[in-house]
Amino acid sequence: MKVTVSQKNEVIKQGQEIRYQVFTLEQSIPTELDLDGLDNQSFHALVTDNDSPIATARLTVHEDCSATMARVAVDKAYRGKGIASKVVTALQQHAKNIGVSSIEIHAHEYLRAYYEKLGFEFIEEVEIVGEHQLIAMEQKLLVTE
């Protein structure tokens, strides 16, 4: 398996295909909520297995050096194998490398303990998307200069 972090159109397109399968088809989240116009200005992590895309996530960096991680999605056949952790960890490392001070994520409420293990802290419950309660979580990063 290979993990790539990139802003290239091909990586974005492959990630969007995974997101469509997971968010739109499986979770009944409207496509227009997923395609929010931030993809082209974000960094995307893409995991491939034998050149087939199997997982994705994106990191949007803000002017204040904070970032938002979003759109973490893993193909159904690869869930439960630690692939999501590879995507999240790749974006966390990329964020550190480019000087991001903190990462916020809006995750499904049932994933709270999972993200806590990856270094995120619960902030608050936020919006409901489709039928899914989301929570805001944040990780402060130590930026080395």
CA distances, 89 to each of 4, 117, 124, 129, 143 (Å): 12, 11, 23, 25, 16
Looking at the domain assignment, is residue 69 inside a domain? yes
Containing structural domain, residue 26: 2-101
6 within domain boundaries: yes
Residue 45's pLDDT is 97
The pLDDT assigned to 144 comes to: 53
Nearest Cα residue to 11 out of 90, 76, 81:
90
Is residue 83 included in any domain, yes or no?
A: yes
Q: What is the pLDDT of residue 129?
A: 73
Asked if residue 131 belongs to a domain, the reply is no
User: Residue 143: what pLDDT?
Assistant: 59
| Interatomic CA distance for residues 74 and 56, integer angstroms | 7
pLDDT at 55: 97
Gap between the Cα atoms of 65 and 117, Å rounded: 23
Structural domains counted in the chain? 1
- pLDDT averaged per 10 residues in sequence order, the chain, 145 residues: 95 96 90 90 96 96 96 95 95 96 94 95 86 90 65
CB contact at 8 A, 42 and 58 = yes
Q: What is the pLDDT at residue 98?
A: 95
Instruction: Judge whether 133 lies within some domain.
Output: no
CATH code at position 31: 3.40.630.30
pLDDT for 60 equals: 97
